[in-house]
Structures are given as structure tokens and as C-alpha cells.
Amino acid sequence: MSTFAYVGRNRQGAVKKGELTAKTRDEAVEQLRKQQVVVTSLEEKSGMGGKFKFSLGSGLTDKDLVVFTRQFGTMINAGLPLIQCLDILSTQSENKVLRETVGDVKNSVEAGSTFSDALKRHPKVFDDLYVNMIHAGEVGGLLDTILTRLAKHIEKAMKLKGQIKSAMVYPTAIVGVAVVIISVLMVWVIPVFAQMFTEMSGGKVGLPGPTQIVINVSNFFQSYWYAMGGAMVATAIAIKRYYATVNGRVAIDRLLLKVPIVGDLIRKASVAKFTRTLGTLITSGVPLLEGLSICAKTSGNKVIEEALMNARVSISGGKTISEPLAKCNVFPKMVTHMIAVGESTGALDAMLGKIADFYEDEVDQAVETLTSLLEPIMMVVLGTIIGFIVIAMYLPIFTMAQAIQ
């Protein structure tokens, strides 16, 4: 048996809260229905009274969401009732989180909630973009079309995210391997050489400058490795906490946009994401102001988020969308010019789609450029460091040979 915490309303409209015990969520809803309570929220509590219930994210991948959305759109297009579609998807999904979430959405819809309101209760699975597009589909009677657009949008977002991740995998792997190799040399290999040099020279022959530098660094590694590790962890925690503040996030996101090559990649990816999302929302019937608010929340960069929110304020005051975006100096001029053309011709959604297509191709090229530049740079830097260590270890051997001669 499981314990469920519920919130609902009775026939008189009064709010009812409490807990009940049932084997399944459906059984809990049935009990409340018999008590003439319309459920608005129903959550299962953990075995320790909900005190030790941990969450590691939604547990749902973009691929799972795409499959669910496409299957749902196909069923709606085939004429199946909404409740039946939700019932089928809640039982056949391979993802446990999705099964439970869709089951809860089905119960909410059965209790009288709209589909979009039921989705809104699960923000970790269905974000603002998803919920608002579903709401537009409900109002306009185009739910199957909206679901198809949503699936395509999520797939394009997946591709864009994958491109950025692929650009970071190679350098991260190389840096990780280099750190391990250098640490092993400094902690275990160099001390052996240092002891050997001391024994061979008997302390009569001084070590060359490069060798002494490497040995001093090795001694520092051995003596203060815990302090270095602690400093790295403390720095990471401090940066994370600073980034959690509004000023910190603005400062770091602005700095990232100014980093050579990387900043250009982030800017292009943000433009592609913003234009793709806003174009999809406008095409689906979501109001422009609401669409800008959603794009700002999902931008992933505080500087771009503030620019979009400022644009939203300007538009509500009677200005066009291109004017405030051009003044913020965040978006490329080509983007603002094309948006202005789209506004003047009444085809803003189509123009946003073209901008997104262009910048998604630009992200492809930026990823290739970043990878092609990082590879030789990292090889030269790592080769120089390891080569310096190797040469420094061989120099005393030549010095000792000359002294013996």
C-alpha cells in the first residue's frame, strides 16, 4: 500500500487536502471520486513520510518525449478519444517516469481538468513551451498538428544540443587524460628519478635548472596534493554558488559570450534556439508576448534572457520586436534585419524558421572549426609540457657523463 497526498475540491467548491492509502494512483482517485472530491493534485509519498524522497531530475530523455509526442499525435489524428490515448500511452511506455506522469495526467483529465492544465502540473517533464503549444492546440482544435510540430521542434533541439556536446567531448577527454598522465609523472615517476640522481652524484654534482624545476613541482605535488584538490573543489563550489545568483549568472554568461570561438558558438546556438522556438510558438497560435517570455526562460543564457524580456516590455509599449533586439547588441545584425523584414511582410514565423535553419548550419560549421582548432593547439601544449618533463629528466644524465669524463 502507498500513501498519497491529495488536493481537490468538493461539490461546493471548497478546497480539500489530506492523505489516503491505496495500492495504486487509480485506486486513490477512485476513492476520492466516491467522496465527491475532484482531484487537482495527487502525489505519492515515500515510505519515510516523504522526508527522504530524493529527485535526480525528471528521468526522461528528449528521445522518450519525442516518441510519446509522435505516438500521441498519430492517435489523435486517427480519431481516438483523448482519455483512451493517454490510457494506452501510460501502459505501453518503457520509461517509468513517463508512465507515471501520463497516468497522473489521465486522472486529472478524467477529473475535469483540461489537458494543458494537467500537463502544467508536471514542469520537470513538460516545460512551458510544451504546455503553451498544447493549450494553443486545444483552443484552435489542432491538437494533432501541434503535437507533430512539437515532435519536430524537440528533434531539432536534440540535434542542436548534440552538436554542442560533441564539440566538447574531444577536448574534455584529452584534458582529462593529460591531467592523469602528468599527475602520475609528478607523484610517482619524478621522485624515482630524483632519488636516482642524488645517489649517482653523491650530492657533488648540481642538477640542471629545468630538472630542478620539475623536481620542485613534483615535491609540491606530493606535499600539497590535498590542498590542491581542496582548492579545486572549493573553487568549483564558489563558482557554482556565484552562478546561482542573478549578478553572477549575468557576469559569467556575458564572459562566455566574449570568449573567442566558444562565444561565437554559444551565440549562434542561442540564436538558432530562440528563432526556432519563437517561430514554432507563433505558428502554433501562441501570442507573441507569451512566446517571448517562454523563449527567455528556455534560452540558457542570462544575457540573452534579459535581452528578450526587455524586448517583450518594448513590444507591449507599441514597438516592433526588431527595434529592441537591435539595440541590445546581443543578436547579429542579420538576425534583426530579417526579423524586421518578417514583421513588415506579415510572415514573421516563416522568417524565423529561415533564420533558425541558417544558424543551425552555422552551428555545424562552428563545431567543426572549434574541433579543428582545438586539436592541434592541445597537442602542441601537451606535447610541450610532457617534452619539457622528459628532457629535464635526461639532462642530469648528460651532465653526470661529462663530469665523469
Give me the mean pLDDT over the 306-316 stretch: 86
62-126: in CATH 1.20.81.30: yes
Q: What is the pLDDT of residue 378?
A: 83
Report pLDDT digits (tens) over 224-258. Answer: 888 888 998 999 999 999 988 888 888 999 998 88
- 129 and 281 in contact (C-beta within 8 Å)? yes
Among 350, 357, 288, 362, residue whose Cα is nearest residue 324: 288
- 118 and 108 in contact (C-beta within 8 Å)? yes
Q: What is the pLDDT of residue 386?
A: 85
Strand pairing of 38-45 and 2-9? antiparallel
pLDDT grade for 377, boundaries at 50, 70 and 90 = confident
* pLDDT score of 166 more than 50: yes
Give me the mean pLDDT over the 351-376 stretch: 85
pLDDT grade for 8, boundaries at 50, 70 and 90 = confident
Q: What is the pLDDT of residue 234?
A: 94
Q: Which amino acid appears at position 282 of this protein?
A: I
* pLDDT score of 52 more than 60: no
Give me the mean pLDDT over the 126-138 stretch: 86
* pLDDT score of 49 more than 50: no
Mean pLDDT of the chain: 82
Q: Do domains 62-126 and 153-404 have the same CATH topology?
A: yes
Q: What is the pLDDT of residue 53?
A: 36
pLDDT grade for 203, boundaries at 50, 70 and 90 = low
* pLDDT score of 290 more than 90: no
pTM of the model: 0.67
Fold of the domain spanning 153-404: Receptor-associated Protein (1.20.81)
Phi and psi for 260 in degrees, rounded to 5?
Answer: -55, 140
Domain ranges of the chain: 2-45, 62-126, 153-404
Q: Which of 16-30, 91-105, 134-148, 340-354 is predicted most confidently? A: 340-354
Q: What is the pLDDT of residue 47?
A: 43
Q: Which amino acid appears at position 145 of this protein?
A: T
Collapsed DSSP state (helix, strand, coil) of residue 331: coil
Q: What is the pLDDT of residue 19?
A: 76
